């Protein structure tokens, strides 16, 4: 007798008939579990009844926990107010902008968007308009969205790293080639680009912590050096805090490192899972959106999404112990994983900041993308796959990070470390911890 197909797989097959690949973003397909039907707090439930402690957290968008009452209640109130009008402004949009300019050090004005990709696209366009220059510098391994200007050189294999590595077919070649690639934590690689392209570079854009390749931590010298270089050469410094913003500190990583960029893109965690993002910066720069730089989008500042953002940011502002708690749990996970790897004599490096953690299967230390080329891609995926199979949701793709939300507990951490010890021991016993392979994959 043929086995009965799981409901989740059946849903995926139905999706494939009407959605390319069965998912609406390239990095969503992970095999089992195929489909989800519920989420609450730190847990998600799949279509087949499996329950998982969620460390994926929608690529970090879920900060307070799934279906956080403080956010959902604000959204319910917003649904009783004005819906989408598409003219003028609504009170939630103003409240959101007021909070952003209060909380983010670089923010004197802001514009709203629906996604991080839209926010970084606006940042790049604004930088080129302000400076009158065509070129952009980004760093190998950083991801800034799907638009042509930045869709290159994220998780590149060794033969394409630092060279021409577009993320997609169909990109405009001129746009791809107008973005130059430097090495993270390497100021000399940035200086060399300025020397090669004098008075042509509009901006440097970076993730202050490149979380799209796990968690590379910047040196203070590096971020301060970028600020000095851009100022000296008449370029703008853009922080892409779509992931680091609100997750690591109320004012983003710029608050942590004390370096203020000219422009800041943010999103994901600011609305605890609702589709909201933005771009903020100096008043003289942002004012260009009033004149010759196009600002458009019917759904920008949607009152429901804005209400979610206001509720999330207000909660974080009024509960400063949130960061103490999530940082402590994150450090417990990192230290516990280091202890386990040491006990098992596994050559690996645990990285992270705040509530984010990742295990690189290379001895380290890891400062930039060059060291990540030695990461054992197969082991990375296997660790996340086996943890997911054990009930701890981690995207089984190389270099993808894991997130602690406000709903995780010390007991959750204890159980996670216990499962990790069993998984890593089984991987060692199965001979999966000996290879060195280049990473592959893309996306946030």
Residues 6+ apart with CB under 8 A from 344: 421, 424, 425, 428
- By C-alpha distance, which of 114, 21, 129, 35 is closest to 309? 114
440 has a pLDDT exceeding 80: no
Split at pLDDT 50, 70, 90, the class of 436 is very low
> Is 410 in the active site?
no
435 has a pLDDT exceeding 80: no
Tens-place pLDDT, residues 227-236: 999 999 999 9
3-state secondary structure 19-54: CHHHCCCCCCCCCCCCCEEEEEECEEEECCCCEEEE
443 has a pLDDT exceeding 90: no
Split at pLDDT 50, 70, 90, the class of 364 is confident
Q: Which two tokens stand for residue 402?
A: 């894991």
Split at pLDDT 50, 70, 90, the class of 62 is very high
- Work out the average pLDDT over 66-93: 96
Q: Are 123 and 265 in contact (CB under 8 A)?
A: yes
Q: Are 414 and 129 in contact (CB under 8 A)?
A: no
CATH number of 7-67+320-429, picked from 2.70.70.10, 3.40.50.2300, 3.90.1150.10, 3.30.2130.10:
3.90.1150.10
Tens-place pLDDT, residues 162-209: 999 999 999 999 999 999 999 999 999 999 999 999 999 999 999 999
115 has a pLDDT exceeding 80: yes
Q: Which among 46, 240, 377, 412 is annotated as catalytic? A: 240
Class of domain 69-318: alpha beta
- Work out the average pLDDT over 127-156: 97
As a whole-number percent, the residues of the chain with pLDDT over 90 amount to 95
What integer pLDDT is reported at residue 444 of this predicted model?
52
What integer pLDDT is reported at residue 197 of this predicted model?
98
CA 324 to chain centre: 21
What integer pLDDT is reported at residue 441 of this predicted model?
46
Q: Which two tokens stand for residue 163?
A: 């060279």
Q: Are 103 and 240 in contact (CB under 8 A)?
A: no
Residue scoring higher pLDDT (26 or 211): 211
Dihedral sign of CA atoms 109, 111, 116, 122 in order: negative
Quick one: CA torsion of 346, 363, 222, 109, rounded to 10 degrees?
-30
> Is 376 in the active site?
no
- Work out the average pLDDT over 40-62: 97
Domains of the chain: which residue ranges?
7-67+320-429, 69-318
Distance, CA of 52 to CA of 47 (rounded, Å): 12
Q: Are 311 and 95 in contact (CB under 8 A)?
A: no
> Is 143 in the active site?
yes
Distance, CA of 132 to CA of 177 (rounded, Å): 17
Tens-place pLDDT, residues 236-259: 999 999 999 999 999 999 999 999
Q: Which among 52, 55, 143, 253 is annotated as catalytic? A: 143
Q: Are 73 and 286 in contact (CB under 8 A)?
A: no
C-alpha distance from residue 142 to each of 11, 148, 220, 372 (Å): 33, 14, 18, 13
Q: Which among 138, 186, 268, 376 is annotated as catalytic? A: 268
What integer pLDDT is reported at residue 275 of this predicted model?
97
Concatenating the DSSP letter of every residue in 340-395 gives HHHHTT---EEEEETTEEEEESS-S---SHHHHTTS-HHHHHHHHHHHHHTTEE--
Q: Which two tokens stand for residue 190?
A: 């940035």
User: Please, what is the end-to-end C-alpha distance for the chain in angstroms?
Assistant: 42
What integer pLDDT is reported at residue 3 of this predicted model?
61
- Provide the mean pLDDT of the chain: 95
């Amino acid at each position: 007798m043929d086995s009965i197909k799981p409901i989740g797989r059946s849903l995926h097959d139905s999706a494939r008939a009407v959605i390319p690949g069965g998912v609406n973003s390239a990095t969503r397909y992970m095999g089992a579990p195929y489909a989800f039907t519920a989420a609450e707090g730190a847990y998600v439930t799949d279509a087949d009844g499996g329950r998982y402690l969620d460390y994926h957290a929608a690529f970090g968008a879920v900060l307070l926990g799934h279906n956080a009452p403080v956010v959902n209640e604000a959204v319910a109130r917003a649904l009783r107010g004005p819906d989408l009008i598409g003219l003028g402004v609504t009170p939630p949009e103003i409240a959101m902008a007021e909070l952003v300019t209060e909380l983010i050090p670089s923010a004197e004005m802001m514009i709203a968007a629906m996604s991080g990709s839209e926010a970084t696209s606006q940042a790049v366009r604004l930088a080129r308009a302000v400076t009158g220059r065509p070129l952009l510098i980004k760093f190998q391994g950083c991801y800034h969205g799907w638009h042509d200007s930045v869709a290159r050189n994220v998780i590149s294999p060794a033969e394409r790293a630092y060279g021409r590595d577009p993320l997609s077919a169909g990109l405009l070649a001129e746009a791809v080639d107008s973005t130059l690639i430097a090495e993270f934590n390497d100021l000399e690689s940035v200086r060399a680009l300025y020397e090669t392209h004098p008075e042509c570079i509009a901006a440097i854009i970076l993730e202050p912590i490149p979380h799209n390749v796990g968690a590379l931590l910047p040196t203070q010298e590096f971020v301060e050096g970028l600020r000095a270089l851009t100022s000296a050469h008449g370029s703008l410094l853009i922080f892409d805090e779509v992931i680091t913003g609100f997750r690591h500190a109320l004012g983003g990583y710029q608050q942590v490192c004390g370096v203020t960029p000219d422009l800041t893109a943010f999103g994901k965690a600011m609305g605890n899972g609702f589709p909201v993002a933005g771009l903020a910066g100096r008043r003289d720069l942002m004012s260009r959106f009033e004149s010759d730089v196009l600002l458009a989008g019917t759904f920008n500042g949607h009152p429901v999404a804005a209400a979610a953002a206001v509720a999330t940011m207000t909660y974080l502002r009024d509960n400063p112990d949130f960061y103490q708690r999530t940082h402590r749990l994150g450090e417990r996970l990192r230290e516990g994983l280091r202890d386990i790897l040491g006990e098992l004599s596994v050559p690996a490096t645990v990285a992270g900041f705040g509530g984010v953690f990742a295990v690189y299967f290379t001895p380290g230390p890891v400062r930039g993308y060059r060291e990540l080329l030695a990461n054992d891609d197969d082991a990375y995926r296997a660790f996340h796959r086996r943890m997911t199979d054990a009930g701890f949701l981690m995207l089984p793709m190389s270099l993808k990070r894991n997130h602690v939300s406000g709903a995780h507990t010390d007991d959750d951490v204890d159980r996670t470390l216990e499962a990790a010890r069993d998984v890593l021991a089984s991987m060692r016993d199965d001979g999966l911890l000996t290879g060195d392979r280049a990473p592959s994959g893309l996306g946030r």
